[in-house]
Structure 1
Amino acid sequence: MTNPFFLPSTLPFGMPPFADIAGEHYAPAFEEGMRQQLEEIAAITSHSDSPTFENTMIPLERSGQVLERVAIVFFNKTSADSNAATDALEEEIAPRFAAHRDAITLNSDLFERIRSIHASLDSSELDAEARYLVERYFTEFTLAGAGLSDDEKTALRDYNSRLSSLTTKFEKNLLADTNDLAVVLDSVAELDGLGASEISAAAGAAADRGLTGKYLISLILPTNQPHLSSLKNADVRGRVFAASRSRGIRGGEFDNRALVLEIVRVRSQRAALLGFTSHAAWVTADETAGNPQRVADMLGKLAPAAARNARTEHAALEKLAGTEVTAADWAFYSEKVRAERYSVDTTQMRPYFEAERVLRDGVFFAASRLYGVTFSERYDLPTYHPDVRVFEVTNEDGTPVGLYTLDLYTRDSKRGGAWMNSLISQSDLLGHPVIVTNNLNVPKPGAGEVTLLTYDEVNTLFHEFGHALHGLFARVTYPKFSGTNTFRDFVEFPSQVNEMWMLWPEVLDNYAKHYQTGEPMSREIVERIHASAAFNEGFLTSEYLAAALIDQAWHRIGVDDEVTDVAAFEAKALADVALDNPAVPPRYSSTYFQHIFANSAYDAGYYSYIWSEVLDADSVEWFTNNGGLTRENGDRFRSLLLAVGGSKNPLEAFRDFRGQDAELQPLLTRRGLN
């Protein structure tokens, strides 16, 4: 069998040869890839010469290329276009893949070579990036348990394997239960309040499941669902919200409660073995936060003001409604209050947010003005799904940057949420170009109808494209530092900064045009949007902080703490910080908190969004004070921050760009927490 993963792709930019990849190729490629990399590691550790950067770090960075090729394509598929065969293979591969990583990070001989090189760094002549590579490997191997005894390593391998299986199962359960809980409606009258494209998408989603003549509202990952702001029927809003909150708690094969408890227990045991008081302590030890107390201090400062603001907002909603406003009603009535106070109705803005125009005349336009890059669609390259689009990105001088791919629409085979990942990661050492992809979950309208985005979906596209730019622009020597491979509580910073261009006048004027008439969104509406910027921030900040604090509460559990009731634990965690307002549920509840209990790598790290937002708000203030959307500003941000990838301490990179440490005040002002 000719396996397309065994050799590098010959397609432009190394695009994986999706047309040649079949299901039977994955398992043999994983087998061969793991075998080859272990041989490569053995060659390093058996080297008779004393450890040097050239005979240890360079071959370590070159190792595992077959495995890298298959893993990137396979795990992209299981996230974006899974099927029964890939689901089964992932459950089999996940623990073996974890064991393979352990075979490298727990290799005593390899660690001793790295330790030796690290000990002599002060007398070495390595450049800054090479020195940082040694420092990162030494730190990561140490925290991974490379210095443990053989018996302790055996226990650690068991924990890692078990966690790999548990988190994979959690993700599969969540996808299945989310699909199962999609709300089926019998008549178009029940969709009163939705636009034509939304109704078309609901009809198409129902037809895809064989439900002719019916309408299907699919669920997205967070607690609050997009249609809740528009649906006029309170009973339908209640059904959609109840479905969202029911994920993972209904009993049966997709119930995630037992998985949550076991994941938390095993993580705490592993942390204790590694010498830490909790999983959160272990995770934050290698983040910019440093320890969970610093996280708790920041979240604790923000929570009381956010909760107070949310209570004030709730009172205003109930005054307008003249009745009780539940969590299911919040989005609907908040839009009415926004319209009453500011004459802004985000649900009425959808006709101005046609997806193609948002992409080309908004997202791409802003990047072109800032960074001088252009985007040309490529129709000749294979993709993993027919909905995926490919764009070649080129610098102003004609030199290539890489490929950007966009997978916009939701489907039952795609996990919830929105994300960016790389299909090939840039590295000078390996001569690799770069391909990045964005995934969103926008309902797909019927054939021939335009896709109109919600206000939040436009914001999400700008956000995820910020990650894509980070991946596209990073120019590093070593694969370890490619793209967005930086600290978890820093990685959201560039993407959050990119959100600012959504409402930047020059950008908004270019894309926010009525899809039928071409009429631009009026300047008056834009001014009212800015005037209402802090509106509903009590709710938004509270729901986010609630999720971040739930994450921290679970992962600050010690090895001797016993928890048996998921709902009770979550309720107490929220009550302890006065975020237990039933009208403001957490953005994610534990049983559908994919970020922390699946394979999203945000466990004990969901705080990262607001931690990074401190840098973001400070940077937005800098851009605003220095002329905004200019090439000079873009070139500075690109060269001093995005191009760095993970090749230096991220806070040093931030200081290079900003000229100082970030200040908290811009964040407090943005979120109305002064």
Structure 2
Amino acid sequence: MSNPFLSPSPLPFELPPFAEIREEHYLPAFEAGMAEQLAEVAAISGSSGTGSPEPPTFENTIEALERSGAVLSRVSLAFSNKTASDTTPGLQALDAEISPRLAEHSDAINLDQALFARIDALYQQRAELRLDPESEHLLQRYHDRFVRAGARLGEAERDRLRQINAELASLGTAFEQNVFADTRAAALVLDSAEELAGLPELAVAAAAENGRALGRDGKYVLSLQSFSNQPELASLDDPAVRRRLLAASLGRGAGSNPDLIRRMVVLRAERAALLGFANHAEYVVADQTAGSTEAVETMLTGLVRPAVANARREAEALAAEAGVERIEAADWKYWSEKVRKARYDVDASVMRPYLELESVIRNGAFFAAEQVYGLSFTERTDLVGHHPDSRVFEVKDADGSPVGLFIGDWFARESKRGGAWMNEVVLQSHLLGTLPVVVNNLNIVKPPAGEPALLSWDEVTTLFHEFGHALHGLLSDVRYPLASGTQVAQDFVEYPSQVNEMWADWPLVLANYAKHHVTGEPMPAELVTRMKQAEAFGEGFRTVEYLAATLLDWAWHTVPAGTDPGDVEAFETAALERYGIAMPEIPVRYRSGYFAHIFAGGWYAAGYYGYIWSEVLDADTVEWFKENGKSIRESGEIFRRELLAVGGSKDAMAAFAGFRGRGPEVEPLLVRRGLTG
């Protein structure tokens, strides 16, 4: 049987031929891809037995590595997107099998002593090579990558490192699959529409449709989002239903994941010690823009006190509105909406009819990209995405030249993990001659057939945020795959996406998409004004909720080697109290048992601080867009050229300084978050 991964896709932009891909194609493609890349690496390092290798040059070593692994790259990128957005038991089983094998494959390359010797030789003579800045930065990244992967360790230490990496890969996959199962099992099943009193009619209908889709005819099912405080808590009138919903959310992973968490924390600390670091956080931050754990801790702990003070003022207002002595966690969002309505005459349910999904996409996100960057989006109904709900759009530049493909997959389903994210399934690279293909995944509740999908303001913001990641990938203009798009420092990657959130309420953009889905009437100007005022109420909650998760991540990953962290729930409680961020009425955004950002693969392990670290840059950049005196289009071209286009081809903070003319300033963030004074 022909395997579509074994050769470049013939489709436009090398879009993976999703209509032809079957589950049985993945494993043979993974195996063929790993074998192919190991053979390529052996030829580069001279260990293939085909004769003495040529002396190392940038072209025959670094560029050759960038060209290697084409089959593995194709299948890995497609598989990563598929397992997250439309998984099956077969794909989950394969994920569990292939994750440790991929870790072993990476180690086989990163710990190859002959290969590292060539890279190190080039690095030592880099001044004499006279490389262009992009190539010189790539050489620096390769050298850092191999050193951080353990290339300088002794043989025994390298063997232990391989064992740790393989086990961590298996544990991360198991954690993710447990969260996936627990989240679905914890969906709140209700017997009557009366229990959903307070939700908009379309949301009630969607809950009934969800029940039917899950085989619970006649029931109303609220499926859970990935975070703790579920959006329905803001509207449900019945306090008992609110408590049941929050309890279901907070309980995920409590039975299935504690042993996995403890083991991952111990292994990460051991690996950091092997590599010469005090703990996993120190290992991670050494390769980030923050530079040191002291810098991260200073920022985070400095925000705790004003954030908690702000949240306590909000709690007092909520308790007064509810007529109780102390607000409960399950009631916080509900009474927040009441306070917003009383103080600012803003009702979230009144806004929804003006925030219809199709208009938010086409007249909001796409329109903003046209105004800022000159892009146009045309739906390609002739091209097939990874799921029937996914839609493919061709992206062109202002001059009509091709940019890439954008795939939007906005609706929730049982086969999709929670949350919202961006995937790249084809990387932009001048070396390889490829243009980008990027995917946005959200989890908006799908309405019954024929009904519009009406969004909350939070969902609109999330859509613009993830589209910011997509633009970062689409507007990449680099030579090397390793530097393409979002492949930047982890504490920098959220910066462009957070900047893109500003267009959601930019007057020109908002006026273009926020129109009543029935009458076409624009959202009243005074409602927009009140909405912005009301957003300030709740910054205390949002900052404490986020900081609690960040400091929990930090606590787990500052555990030194050889230390058993003990009971997971006790560790979590002690950590939040130690940092002074524990507020029972504000649950941490992600409890440890379902904190997939840091335990499912570990991409954000000791790096969840990156959201607020990036927000410093974001808030400063928003001020620049508002005050620089240039048109949106002129400003967009500067931001595109200096930030988005360069991807990871230069130092991230140097790119920011080149764009802003100076380093970042924190004051705009403090004002935005209500943390001044």
Q: 2:618 aligns with which of 616, 619, 630?
A: 616
Q: 1:95 aligns with which of 72, 95, 100?
A: 100
Residue 658 (structure 1) aligns with: 660
Q: Contact 1:5–1:29 at 8 Å: present in 2 too?
A: yes
Residue 312 (structure 2) aligns with: 311
> Number of matched residues?
670
Residue 111 (structure 2) aligns with: 106
Q: 1:506 aligns with which of 505, 508, 513?
A: 508
Query: Is 1:248 the counterpart of 2:253 in the alignment?
Result: yes
Partner of 1:488: helix, strand, or coil?
coil
Residue 322 (structure 1) aligns with: 323
Residue 49 (structure 2) aligns with: none
Q: Separation in 2 of the partners of 1:629 and 1:319?
A: 46
User: 1:115 Cα deviation (Å)?
Assistant: 0.4
Partner deviation per Cα, 1:249-289 (whole Å, 9 max, x = no partner): 1x3xxx11111111101111111111111000101110011
Partner deviation per Cα, 1:68-100 (whole Å, 9 max, x = no partner): 011111111111111010000110000000000
User: How do 1:473-552 residues align onto structure 2 when only pairs under 5 Å count?
Assistant: 473-552=475-554
Q: Separation in 2 of the partners of 1:629 and 1:405?
A: 29
User: How do 1:515-664 residues align onto structure 2 when only pairs under 5 Å count?
Assistant: 515-599=517-601, 601-627=603-629, 630-664=632-666
Q: Separation in 2 of the partners of 1:618 and 1:347?
A: 32
Q: Separation in 2 of the partners of 1:651 and 1:571?
A: 35
Q: Contact 2:29–2:71 at 8 Å: present in 1 too?
A: yes
Partner deviation per Cα, 1:462-507 (whole Å, 9 max, x = no partner): 0000000000001110110011000000010000000001111111
Mean Cα deviation higher: 333-342 or 399-408: 333-342
User: 1:382 Cα deviation (Å)?
Assistant: 1.5
User: 1:305 Cα deviation (Å)?
Assistant: 0.5
Partner of 1:391: helix, strand, or coil?
strand
Partner of 2:535: helix, strand, or coil?
coil
User: 1:629 Cα deviation (Å)?
Assistant: 6.2
Residue 20 (structure 1) aligns with: 20
Partner of 1:648: helix, strand, or coil?
coil
Q: 2:369 aligns with which of 363, 367, 370?
A: 367
Residue 170 (structure 1) aligns with: 175
- The 1:574–1:219 alpha-carbon spacing in structure 2 relative to 1, beyond 3 Å, is same
User: 1:628 Cα deviation (Å)?
Assistant: 7.3
Q: Contact 2:395–2:403 at 8 Å: present in 1 too?
A: yes
Q: Contact 1:497–1:616 at 8 Å: present in 2 too?
A: yes
Q: Separation in 1 of the partners of 2:425 and 2:96?
A: 22
Q: Separation in 2 of the partners of 1:596 and 1:344?
A: 36
Partner of 1:621: helix, strand, or coil?
helix
Partner deviation per Cα, 1:333-372 (whole Å, 9 max, x = no partner): 0011111111222232111100000001111111100111
Q: Separation in 1 of the partners of 2:348 and 2:476?
A: 35
Q: Separation in 1 of the partners of 2:666 and 2:348?
A: 29
User: 1:50 Cα deviation (Å)?
Assistant: 1.5
Residue 202 (structure 1) aligns with: 207
Q: Contact 1:366–1:629 at 8 Å: present in 2 too?
A: no
Query: Is 1:667 the counterpart of 2:672 in the alignment?
Result: no
User: How do 1:219-234 residues align onto structure 2 when only pairs under 5 Å count?
Assistant: 219-234=224-239
Q: Contact 1:420–1:436 at 8 Å: present in 2 too?
A: yes
Q: 1:357 aligns with which of 327, 338, 359?
A: 359
Q: Separation in 1 of the partners of 2:190 and 2:441?
A: 27
Q: Contact 1:304–1:577 at 8 Å: present in 2 too?
A: no
Mean Cα deviation higher: 621-630 or 131-140: 621-630
Residue 243 (structure 2) aligns with: 238
User: 1:290 Cα deviation (Å)?
Assistant: 1.3
Q: Separation in 1 of the partners of 2:531 and 2:199?
A: 21
Residue 198 (structure 2) aligns with: 193
Give the structure-1-normalised TM-score. Answer: 0.98
Partner of 1:5: helix, strand, or coil?
helix
Q: Separation in 1 of the partners of 2:589 and 2:516?
A: 31
User: 1:535 Cα deviation (Å)?
Assistant: 1.3
Partner of 1:447: helix, strand, or coil?
coil
Q: 1:150 aligns with which of 144, 151, 155?
A: 155
Q: Which amino acid aligns with 1:482?
A: S
User: 1:560 Cα deviation (Å)?
Assistant: 2.8
Partner deviation per Cα, 1:523-572 (whole Å, 9 max, x = no partner): 11111122233211111000000000000000000013222111111111
User: 1:404 Cα deviation (Å)?
Assistant: 0.4
Q: Contact 2:384–2:391 at 8 Å: present in 1 too?
A: no
Partner of 1:445: helix, strand, or coil?
coil
User: 1:231 Cα deviation (Å)?
Assistant: 0.7
Q: 2:77 aligns with which of 38, 58, 72?
A: 72
Partner of 2:227: helix, strand, or coil?
coil
Q: Which amino acid aligns with 1:35?
A: A
Residue 182 (structure 1) aligns with: 187
- The 1:333–1:302 alpha-carbon spacing in structure 2 relative to 1, beyond 3 Å, is same
Q: Separation in 2 of the partners of 1:175 and 1:197?
A: 26
Partner of 1:232: helix, strand, or coil?
coil
Q: Separation in 2 of the partners of 1:246 and 1:97?
A: 32
Unmatched runs of 5 consecutive residues or more in structure 1: none
User: How do 1:442-461 residues align onto structure 2 when only pairs under 5 Å count?
Assistant: 442-461=444-463
User: 1:600 Cα deviation (Å)?
Assistant: 5.4
Which stretches of structure 1, 4 residues or more, deviate above 6 A after TM superposition?
none
Q: Contact 1:597–1:603 at 8 Å: present in 2 too?
A: yes
Q: Separation in 2 of the partners of 1:467 and 1:20?
A: 28
Residue 31 (structure 1) aligns with: 31
Partner of 2:407: helix, strand, or coil?
strand
Q: Separation in 1 of the partners of 2:296 and 2:344?
A: 35
User: How do 1:112-123 residues align onto structure 2 when only pairs under 5 Å count?
Assistant: 112-123=117-128
User: 1:49 Cα deviation (Å)?
Assistant: 2.0
Q: Separation in 2 of the partners of 1:629 and 1:363?
A: 18
Mean Cα deviation higher: 261-270 or 42-51: 42-51
- Percent of paired sites with the same residue: 54
Q: Which amino acid aligns with 2:112?
A: N
User: 1:199 Cα deviation (Å)?
Assistant: 1.3
Q: Which amino acid aligns with 1:266?
A: L
Q: Separation in 2 of the partners of 1:600 and 1:414?
A: 19
Q: Contact 1:369–1:629 at 8 Å: present in 2 too?
A: no
Query: Is 1:4 the counterpart of 2:4 in the alignment?
Result: yes
- The 1:437–1:600 alpha-carbon spacing in structure 2 relative to 1, beyond 3 Å, is farther
Partner of 1:290: helix, strand, or coil?
coil
- The 1:629–1:94 alpha-carbon spacing in structure 2 relative to 1, beyond 3 Å, is farther
Partner of 2:665: helix, strand, or coil?
coil
Q: Contact 2:172–2:602 at 8 Å: present in 1 too?
A: no
Partner deviation per Cα, 1:394-434 (whole Å, 9 max, x = no partner): 11111011000011011111111100010100101011111
User: 1:627 Cα deviation (Å)?
Assistant: 4.7
Partner of 1:533: helix, strand, or coil?
helix
Partner of 1:421: helix, strand, or coil?
strand
Q: Contact 1:229–1:347 at 8 Å: present in 2 too?
A: no
Q: Separation in 2 of the partners of 1:490 and 1:501?
A: 20
Q: Separation in 2 of the partners of 1:469 and 1:233?
A: 41
Q: Which amino acid aligns with 2:249?
A: S
Q: Which amino acid aligns with 1:14?
A: E
Unmatched runs of 5 consecutive residues or more in structure 2: 47-51
- The 1:517–1:629 alpha-carbon spacing in structure 2 relative to 1, beyond 3 Å, is farther
User: 1:194 Cα deviation (Å)?
Assistant: 1.0
Q: Separation in 2 of the partners of 1:285 and 1:600?
A: 16
Partner of 2:212: helix, strand, or coil?
helix
Query: Is 1:159 the counterpart of 2:164 in the alignment?
Result: yes
